């Protein structure tokens, strides 16, 4: 996706408002006030809007009433309707208040995607139409979550896709910043809804945010963070209904490194355990190949082997992919005598993330000691330079978060911006 390297003289700001921010007309009026506030400061505003409240879930439920497995093309066409409702209503509110605005669907905003229904990727953005309307003084409202393929098909960008829409537009428009508005104050050291000691972070790096998002923190879509990091888009996450500074997401080199920044909890996972007594080394390769064909993303793989050559393997999958996984494994089990698998749905993944993990000896030891002292069993573990992830029993998930939060003193964590 090409980005204009020339600094934008007009100070364009891209804002994104999630479904909870536009859940009803009164909330839309609050959103309109935020947009107007920036417009009155002389900024050109492009606002990406999600579907109202639970609209997307309601549309999904309707589809499943008429079809067990709705065709992907028809689902994308159906789900794109939610954002169309939001942008038109908000545009009417702004126009009523005396601020000219125009609503644009994804294809009208120039968002071109590949042909993958339900999880499309943005290939490029033609910004001409947006710039044309900005030059006439209009506020531009863009339907999030959607685009159009080369074949002229409406496609959607996956759950949280409005984040991706906003970041992509901020990149292509060379915006001053991209503001993500939601119903929380920003990024916390842990989920504040489950853990009262969680502390609001003023700053977090792209890399840390990417790890937290991919490990279960449902504040931003992972792909949106990837695009922001690639094109160095300044991001800030704020509460739509409060006047607060929120959390800034920026380049790693601009922030001091701290050992642990935050903890992510993911309960939307299942653990698969496979035993293969055939001693055929290519069997697991075939399994992963078939799961890849089903677009199943696999996490934390642990392989074991006994002295007699029998092999076992375990891995995690999102519970929304469990049906696809069991279908593949059932088919393999029906053809192989020495192949067995089981599913454990009572697990959770706890991930601690921080830019200082790799450079701070003893971090893993502190994790293991804290869990051992509190008799928390660890089923499997995965590490990277800025992450340590553990799979634990689901009924001990919140307890585990609390133990690790206290063990690393995250209630008192502070961070400085150094550039």
Domain map (residue ranges) of the chain: 12-183
Q: Shortest CA distance to 228 belongs to which of 216, 217, 218, 237? A: 237
Q: What would the mean pLDDT of 204-228 be, rounded to a whole number?
A: 89
Is 0.95 topped by the overall pTM?
Answer: no
pLDDT at 304: 72
Closest CA to 181 of 311, 306, 69, 38: 38
Inter-residue contact 46 to 175 (CB < 8 Å): yes
How many CA atoms within 13 Å lie on the side-chain side of 288?
13
Which of helix, strand or coil describes residue 280?
coil
pLDDT in tens, 303-357: 876 666 677 889 999 998 999 899 989 988 888 777 889 999 999 999 999 998 9
174 dihedral zone (left: phi>0; alpha: psi -120 to 50; beta): left
Which residue reads 């409005």 in tokens? 162
The percentage of the chain sitting over the pLDDT mark of 90, rounded to a whole number, equals: 70
What are the distances in angstroms from CA 77 to CA 64, 73, 109? 15, 6, 17
Tell the residue number behind the tokens 């417009």, with chain if given: 39
Round to whole Å and give the CA distance between 153 and 191: 38
Domain 12-183 has CATH 3.30.2320.20: no
Average pLDDT over residues 17-31: 96
Report whether 233 contacts 168 (CB < 8 A).
no
Band of pLDDT at residue 281, cut at 50, 70 and 90: low
- pLDDT of 174 > 90? The answer is yes
Residue 99 pLDDT: 98
Answer yes or no: is pLDDT of 7 > 70. Answer: no
Put residue 323 in one of left, alpha, beta given phi > 0 → left and psi -120 to 50 → alpha: alpha
Q: Give 278's pLDDT tier (boundaries 50, 70, 90).
A: low
| Extended beta strands in 106-246, E state | 111-113, 122-125, 139-143, 146-149, 154-156, 177-182, 203-205, 235-239
Q: d(Cα 276, Cα 338) in Å, to the nearest integer?
A: 6
Pairwise CA distance, residues 225 & 138, whole Å:
28
Identify the pLDDT of residue 8.
43
Q: Where are the strands (E) in 153-254, listed by range?
A: 154-156, 177-182, 203-205, 235-239, 247-250
């Amino acid at each position: 996706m090409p980005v204009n390297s020339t600094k934008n003289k007009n100070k364009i700001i891209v804002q994104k408002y999630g479904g909870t921010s536009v859940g009803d007309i009164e909330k839309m009026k609050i959103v309109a006030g935020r947009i107007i506030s920036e417009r009155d400061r002389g900024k050109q505003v492009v606002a990406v809007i999600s579907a109202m409240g639970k609209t997307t879930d309601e549309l999904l439920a309707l589809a499943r009433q008429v079809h067990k497995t709705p065709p992907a093309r028809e689902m994308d066409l159906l789900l794109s309707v939610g954002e169309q409702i939001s942008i038109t209503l908000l545009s009417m509110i702004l126009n009523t208040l005396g601020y000219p605005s125009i609503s644009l669907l994804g294809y009208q905003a120039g968002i071109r995607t590949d042909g993958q229904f339900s999880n499309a990727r943005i290939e490029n953005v033609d910004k001409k139409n947006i710039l044309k309307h900005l030059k006439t003084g209009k506020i531009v409202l863009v339907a999030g979550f959607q685009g159009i393929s080369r074949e002229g098909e409406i496609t959607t960008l996956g759950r949280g896709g409005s984040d991706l829409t906003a970041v992509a537009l901020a990149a292509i428009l060379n915006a001053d910043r991209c503001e993500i508005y939601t119903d929380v104050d920003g990024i916390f050291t842990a989920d504040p809804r489950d853990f009262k000691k969680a502390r609001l972070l003023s700053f977090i790096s792209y890399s840390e945010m990417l790890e937290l998002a991919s490990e279960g923190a449902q504040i931003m879509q992972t792909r949106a963070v990837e695009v922001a990091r690639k094109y160095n888009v300044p991001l800030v996450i704020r509460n739509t209904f409060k006047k607060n500074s929120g959390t800034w997401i920026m380049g790693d080199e601009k922030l001091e490194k701290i050992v642990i920044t935050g903890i992510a909890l993911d309960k939307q996972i299942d653990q698969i355990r496979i035993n293969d007594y055939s001693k055929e080394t290519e069997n697991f390769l075939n399994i992963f190949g078939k799961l890849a064909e089903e677009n199943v993303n696999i996490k934390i793989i642990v392989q074991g082997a006994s002295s007699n050559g029998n092999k076992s393997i375990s891995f995690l999958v999102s519970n929304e992919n469990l049906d696809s996984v069991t279908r593949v494994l059932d088919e393999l089990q029906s053809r192989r005598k020495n192949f067995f698998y089981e599913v454990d749905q009572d697990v959770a993944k706890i991930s601690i993330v921080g830019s200082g993990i790799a450079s701070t000896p003893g971090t893993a030891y502190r994790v293991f000691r804290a869990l051992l002292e509190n008799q928390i069993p660890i089923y499997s573990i995965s590490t990277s330079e800025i992450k340590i992830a553990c799979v634990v029993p689901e009924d001990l998930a919140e307890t585990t978060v609390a133990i690790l939060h206290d063990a690393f003193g995250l209630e008192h964590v502070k961070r400085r911006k150094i550039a």
